[in-house]
Amino acid sequence: MERVEGSEKQVPAAEEGNRNRTLSKTWKIILGLAAIFVVGLAVNQLFNFGFFMNVIWLDNKYQYAVFGLLVPFAFIIFPRSGKSDTSRVAWYDVIAAAVMFAILAYFFQHAADIVDYGWEMGGAPDYIIYMGLTLWLLVLEATRRAGGTALFVIVALISLYPLVADVMPGPISGLASSWQDTVAYHTLSAESMLGIPMQAMANLVIGFLIFGVALTQTGGGNFFINLAFALLGHVRGGPAKVAIFSSGLMGSMSGSVVSNVITTGVLTIPAMRKTGFRPSYAAGVEACASTGGVLMPPIMGSTAFIMAVFLSIPYVEIAIAAIVPSVLYYLALFIQIDAYAARNNMPGEDRANLPKVKDTLRDGWHFIAVFVLLIVMLVFLKQEVLAPFYATVLLLVVNQLFPKHRWGMQEFINFIQATGKLLVEIGSILVGVGLIVGALSITGMAGTLVNDLIFLAGGNTLVLLLMGAITSFIMGIGMTVTAAYIFLAIVLAPALVQGGLDPMSVHLFILYWGMVSFITPPVALGAFAAASISGASPMRTGFEAMRLGSIIYFVPFFFVLDPAFIFQGDLSKTAILFVSAVAGVILVASALQGYLSGIGNLHRHPVMGWVIRALILVAGLCLATPGGNLIPFSNLELALAALVMGGIGAVLALTFEKKYQQGLTT
């Protein structure tokens, strides 16, 4: 594998499948200026600089400004049809963008009146209502262009729900509102368009999105890929293990599964195929690695920041809670790849063709230094809002000290434009998703659904969990992960918490199961994107990814059953559960691939091989699953069961392996 040189291009979801226009120079300049203004506003608001006559704006004034500078560009960047082969912006798109900007500029100017006179609660003048109705329609169209038709349909239907809530069937009935009150609530209150999603965007997400773009534009992705090849490229199954490392880090930076697959997969998938991995297997590895990256600290996807707002806790607590689950997920991937490579006798790359660790670190040590600064500010200084801004400044300053990486004016312009496009896409989606929050809030449906769900589950929390897993998976198919999470955080999470489960565990559970759809057929967007690179069958790749990433179906249940998994409780218990889970995950991963280190091939016998693998698999699940609470067995009883089943499976496997080896020698 030759060294990857040069800078890389950020491939946000906005650019996947060439969905965005190639903007003309004029539009690029306007977008760049808007991005600069948004960053300036964020810095002013979050650092309390008081640039504007020593006044810090009201929250709604600040959010209208961010809203107005970003979301209108959805009509400029994303064409009406969803596909573009031209840079020309249609006249109706320009009008739509201008009208949205004008309305938001007016709301920005009258932000204090909205609060002082309670316009969102029915006191707004008629002309404001009509302006709000126009804004509502434009936001729906912007959401469709940025997030896709499925998200648009769901957001549109739910946003209209307050108009007919009183005539809906019992479980989904609520308080109805007039169209005037609904419009006012959606567009003027702090509960809908300016609700939790937009608040998270304006106060938390912007900084981390900027940092992610800066990291990739300066070559951070190439550095981590080179470092992964230098460290792991030579071991058995090396290129696949490199995919785990590099795609995990890239996914953590980008927050997008599909864009991560496209960015890193073009390097890792051909390398895996070169060393003997099947096309579908190589694509499955990349899809699973990229999916896990969005769940991996220290920078998770934008959903994690919204979760922090929902739970009213610092983001760093969510990042810390996600450490053990993400370690278990990547450990399972690593063990499966190692087992597959061992079973199929797959060597790594020749060291002569790999980058040197020393050279790689010399060229890119500053990327690690920036991550260290970010973690220190997040964990020790508790500056989660400001940390990404400081990290970005440090990265850009240090980057200019290296002649090899130094940016010229064009690179700075590209960085600003890439930042603008990403902010526009995420902002358009989050404002649209906010309509879901507003509709559920104004009708009071969230509270009634909680009671209905508990009733349907018969008061059984385990049944409610299973219902939640299935619902999260289905919602993850039709929505973005963020939209699915927000909906379920309002509707499902309170029911699970009422059932006695830990709030942090419940919200992470919903997030994890929302991610499952990226590697699970029939949708499996992450797997299908990887299949397009490897040339494999998309559906076969989906099933391969489903098997490789199968631990993701179990890990959420582990930390819901015992919150000690996510550092919610005594540290000594966390340590014990972690060690037991690691052993269990190793057994599960080995059983899935049919090879256990220290024993060898588990499937030497055509019939008993399945029995052996089943015994090892169940033993692993017994070790990894925490006892007590909703499980009617203690940790000791589960461990003894694992010892018995695992022991029987290991003895049988050793017996058949010994016979096989004797047959080779005779």
DSSP code string of 93-104: HHHHHHHHHHHH
Give residue-wise pLDDT tens across range 256-275.
677 778 777 877 888 888 87
Helix, strand, or coil (residue 600): strand
Confidence of residue 5 (pLDDT cuts 50, 70, 90): very low
pTM (2 d.p.)? 0.79
Sign of the alpha-carbon torsion through 25, 27, 33, 39: negative
pLDDT digits (tens, 9 = 90+) for 603-632: 888 889 999 999 999 999 999 999 877 788
pLDDT of 196 higher than 60: yes
Return the amino acid letter for 97.
Answer: A
Does residue 621 contact residue 580 with C-beta atoms inside 8 Å?
Answer: no
Q: Which of 172, 151, 152, 170 is nearest to 161 (CA)?
A: 172
Predicted pLDDT at 647: 94
pLDDT, tens digit, for every residue of 102-121?
999 999 999 999 988 888 88
Within its chain, how far is the Cα of 362 from the centroid? 31
Q: What confidence score (pLDDT) does residue 449 get?
A: 65
Between 7 and 656, whose confidence is greater?
A: 656
Among 259, 121, 99, 238, which residue's Cα sits nearest to residue 177? Answer: 121
Cα-atom radius of gyration of the chain, to the nearest Å? 26
What torsion do the CA atoms of 336, 340, 343, 347 make, to the nearest 10 degrees? -120
Torsion angle in degrees (nearest 10) through CA of 567, 570, 575, 581: -70
Ranges of each domain in the chain = 18-198, 219-403, 570-666
Residue 601 DSSP SS3: strand
**Whole-number pLDDT of residue 487:** 81
Q: What's the chain's average pLDDT?
A: 85
Residue 134 belongs to what H/E stretch? helix 126-147
Nearest residue to 628 via CA among 564, 568, 543, 538 = 564
| Average pLDDT rounded to a whole number, residues 144-154 | 86
pLDDT at residue 3 is higher than 50: no
Rounded to the nearest 10°, the torsion over CA 352, 358, 364, 368 is 120
627: left (phi over 0), alpha (psi -120 to 50) or beta: beta
- Element (DSSP H or E) covering residue 268: helix 257-274
In terms of Cβ atoms closer than 10 Å to its own Cβ (0-12, 13-18, 19+), residue 116 is exposed
